[in-house]
Chain A
Amino acid sequence: MIAELGHFATILALVMAALAATVPHIGIAKGDSRLMAVADNAAIGQFLMALIAFGALMYSYLISDFSVYAVAANSHSAKPLLYKIAGVWGNHEGSLMLWVLMLSLFGAALSTKGGKLPARFRTRVIAIQSALVFGFLLFTLFTSNPFLRLDPAPIEGNGLNPLLQDPGLMFHPPMLYLGYVGLSVAFSFAVAALIEGEVTPLWARWVRPWTLIAWVFLTGGIALGSWWAYYELGWGGWWFWDPAENASFMPWLVATALLHSAIVVEKRDALKSWTILLSIVAFSFSLLGTFLVRSGVITSVHAFANDPERGVFILAFLALVIGGSLALYAWRAPRLTPGGLFGMVSRESALVLNNVLLSTFAGVVLVGTLYPLVLEAANAGQISVGAPFFNYAAAVLMSPLIIALGFGPLLAWKRGRLPKAATTLLPAALVAIVVAIAIYWQAAGGVIMTAFGLGLAVWLLGSVLLEVADRTQLLKKPSGFVRRVRSLPRATWGMTLAHAGVAVLLFGITISDTWTVEELLVMQPGDEKQVGDYTFRFEGVAPVAGPNYTSVAGYFTVFEDGEELTRLMPEDRLYTDPVMNTTEAAIYPLVSGDLYAVIGEAAGGGRWSVRLYFKPFVSGLWLGSIMMMIGGLLSLSDRRLRIGAPRKQAAAPRVEV
């Protein structure tokens, strides 16, 4: 009954989306404000219906109603409550419902929070957003309906992939989806602007908060996924340039570029056409990522569907949305009036450089991700593109970006002065060079990338601090410093924190990559092993019974200078439904680095194979990501964005007769 309610709500949402996607355009054409108002109401209706449907699905999971197809296929009565909830989106059908829920949530938010937008424009945006909802609902209902009933109902469900039974993964998909789907708003704004044939600085001011929200969630989602890989896969790595990772990284790169180019539109009324294109491309990458990951083209933990019908549908949808919007762009973009001019050395130019480098990187990652697929489709053999390819591209493209990042915020709009910025940044450059040379010399060659990476990180952190000092005139007039610091707008703090986050991230990457100590050995109970400055003592193994698994746990005591520091208990779990093994690494985070232990298998004679690591400053990765997210949120809370458009504009909707 509850499942049928959800099914019915899904169909109602589809009908409302169909109405909201078409009627408002007619209303605008006819100048009929009643028809236009359909958009607002249907947007809220879609969201409520999607919420009911999602709630019904979740309820079916909670009560383990195995007569519902999706529940039987992915849940199990013995599963802990937490994973019954997470199980809702831990599969293809449920993740689509989540996607629809988010998409309609953004539509409803546009309708309730978008009151300051001109009515006509808002109506267009919501109509386009609803068209996207319609596409996804159609896909859900026709190829991946979670509410289908099974008769007879199985007694027990198939269970959830144990790799996904993890607290980190509870929030990874919803956050990533909020990011992916959040980019749909920028997309809808861009298409609406193309239809209306006008992009104004005000447009950028509306788009930016939505893009910021999406970017913050995307950053969080990617960081959570990386964290999960770090402790769950037990390989000690946190990024593998796996196609599924790349699929989320490409939209992130483009969204980052979009955030920066929208500033230029807002402040200087330039780069309009490019920003529109970025909005379209960012969401296209989200769709492409979903297609790659969910259609089974790439086999991984993420691939739920291996159904060709679904693949064809997503591909068609992809072609329609991306092809259609790019065609619209080609047709309408030349009409956009070109905006302000700027000099070769200026804030605008620095942001253009940022955009060029980020987009190029996204392009290279795209080639590296799709190349094996194209080759295989052409029957030219199977290859895999390895990490060296992407690492090389990252080093070549991101290094100039980080160097330029120091200068950007110090350059004035329109025409900046490079010598002045260079003088301000000289201390940072000197310290960075000294650090790089010292590390290179200390390690007697061979680690040129480490020296370079640390030099860049020091440069970035130094230049961010110097920029704040310069902005608040710390050195010139120290007296009013505190007052001036407090009066800085939040957007400036957001930028500073996010840029500093990049520096911390870079520290984390370089230090943990270079100075990780890894030991692979067999140990007998009582054996000790020195790993870096720490001594691991193996105490033995014991079986452990979990709610839906049994495991072999290894016990380690870690000593620092003879003092007991902590105990670690890595596990090797065997889940029963479905039958599967997972490795649970044990991690003890310290400021200086992580102690990391993995238990292998019995090696005969009472010995066990183990892997022990000391990973210095790996926390920089998570800290840096969190700083970037907080930076984004701070910027979002800036007064300028909350106020939005001047009142007058909102009061006089441009309804043409």
Chain B
Amino acid sequence: MAGLRTRKKQRLTVMILAVAALAVAAFLIVFAGRQSGSFNLFLQPSEVLQRNVPTGQRFRLGGLVAAGSLVRQDDGLTYSFSVTDCAADIKVHYKGIMPSLFREGQGVVTEGALDGNGEFLAETVLAKHDENYAPPGTMPKNEEACAHPEALTQGAMGR
């Protein structure tokens, strides 16, 4: 602890400190990034199948809720439905309170991981929350694949 008697020394110390802070920040970004759930991919069903996403890896699944796929279990809390991008479907299971504006044929974003059967266990479900706003990234990337996209909007569950 000699103290910083000269200006040069003080400047040197500040420089070292600044470099150290940058190094810490860089390391932190890398290490924090390794925490489970830090960086979640956002995928549509066909991308999930292409990439062979391993069981248990968290990611966000986006797409349209397939018409006629929504089923509520007898317990009143567990739901299953299919998320589709018209090229592929993935079955999703969710236990909780569904967002009020969740409808078949509309966009949805869910976050969770695949189980051993290739089905998606969702921890959160985000639906659009007003008439004008659709969650980004839920429209199928290959819209031509949706033979009759208007058919998707029918079969809404209604409340």
Interchain CB contact under 8 A, A601 and B97 = yes
* Contacts A367-B29, A384-B60, A393-B32 given; does A600 touch B37 at CB 8 Å: no
User: Chain A residues with Cβ under 8 A from B76's Cβ?
Assistant: 522, 603-604, 607, 609
Interchain CB contact under 8 A, B24 and A360 = yes
Question: How extensive is the interface on chain B, given as a class?
Answer: 35 or more
User: Chain B residues with Cβ under 8 A from A603's Cβ?
Assistant: 72, 76-77
B1 at the interface (CB under 8 A from A): yes
Which of these, A388, A393, A521, contacts B77 with CB under 8 Å?
Answer: A521
A18 at the interface (CB under 8 A from B): no
Which of these, B7, B10, B36, B98, contacts A388 with CB under 8 Å?
Answer: B36
Alpha-carbon separation in the docked complex, A344 to B1 (Å): 7
* Contacts A161-B130, A580-B101 given; does A352 touch B17 at CB 8 Å: yes
* Contacts A364-B25, A521-B77, A578-B132 given; does A383 touch B4 at CB 8 Å: no
Interchain CB contact under 8 A, A299 and B3 = no
Nearest to B74 among chain A residues (CB) is A604
Interface residues of B in 32-79 (CB under 8 A from A): 32-33, 35-43, 58, 60, 72, 74-77
Interchain CB contact under 8 A, A388 and B97 = no
A397 at the interface (CB under 8 A from B): yes
B148 at the interface (CB under 8 A from A): no
User: Chain A residues with Cβ under 8 A from B136's Cβ?
Assistant: 299
* Contacts A382-B137, A522-B76, A601-B100 given; does A343 touch B132 at CB 8 Å: no
Question: How extensive is the interface on chain A, given as a class?
Answer: 35 or more
Which of these, A572, A579, A598, contacts B131 with CB under 8 Å?
Answer: A579
Nearest to B3 among chain A residues (CB) is A343
Interchain CB contact under 8 A, A341 and B5 = yes
CB distance from B41 to the nearest CB of A (A): 5
Interchain CB contact under 8 A, B98 and A601 = yes
A490 at the interface (CB under 8 A from B): no
* Contacts A345-B1, A383-B42, A396-B28 given; does A581 touch B75 at CB 8 Å: no
Nearest to B101 among chain A residues (CB) is A581
Interchain CB contact under 8 A, B97 and A387 = no
Interchain CB contact under 8 A, A386 and B100 = no
User: Chain B residues with Cβ under 8 A from A522's Cβ?
Assistant: 75-77
* Contacts A578-B132, A601-B159 given; does A364 touch B77 at CB 8 Å: no
| Interface residues as binary, A594-614 with B (CB distance below 8 Å gives 1, 0 otherwise) | 000010110110010101000
B146 at the interface (CB under 8 A from A): no
A437 at the interface (CB under 8 A from B): no
Alpha-carbon separation in the docked complex, A97 to B99 (Å): 34
Which of these, B17, B24, B39, contacts A386 with CB under 8 Å?
Answer: B39
Interchain CB contact under 8 A, B39 and A383 = yes
Alpha-carbon separation in the docked complex, A345 to B2 (Å): 10
Which of these, A352, A363, A392, A583, contacts B35 with CB under 8 Å?
Answer: A392
| Interface residues as binary, A342-373 with B (CB distance below 8 Å gives 1, 0 otherwise) | 11110000001000100110011001100100
B149 at the interface (CB under 8 A from A): no
Which of these, A299, A343, A384, A609, contacts B97 with CB under 8 Å?
Answer: A609
B155 at the interface (CB under 8 A from A): no
CB distance from A395 to the nearest CB of B (A): 9
CB distance from B97 to the nearest CB of A (A): 4
Alpha-carbon separation in the docked complex, A161 to B132 (Å): 10
User: Chain A residues with Cβ under 8 A from B2's Cβ?
Assistant: 344
CB distance from B135 to the nearest CB of A (A): 8
Interchain CB contact under 8 A, A520 and B137 = no
Interchain CB contact under 8 A, A364 and B98 = no
Not counting A341-B7, A396-B28, A601-B159, a sample of 6 additional A-B residue pairs whose C-beta atoms are within 8 angstroms of each other reads: A356-B18, A360-B21, A360-B24, A384-B40, A387-B37, A392-B31
Chain A residues with a Cβ under 8 A of chain B? 161-163, 299, 338, 341-345, 352, 356, 359-360, 363-364, 367-368, 371, 381-390, 392-393, 396-397, 415, 520-522, 572, 574, 578-583, 598, 600-601, 603-604, 607, 609, 611
Task: Give 3 nearest A-B pairs by CB, closest first.
Answer: A603-B76, A581-B100, A600-B97
CB pairs A–B below 8 angstroms (15 shown): A356-B17, A356-B21, A371-B39, A381-B41, A383-B40, A386-B37, A388-B32, A389-B32, A389-B33, A396-B28, A397-B28, A580-B130, A581-B129, A604-B74, A604-B76
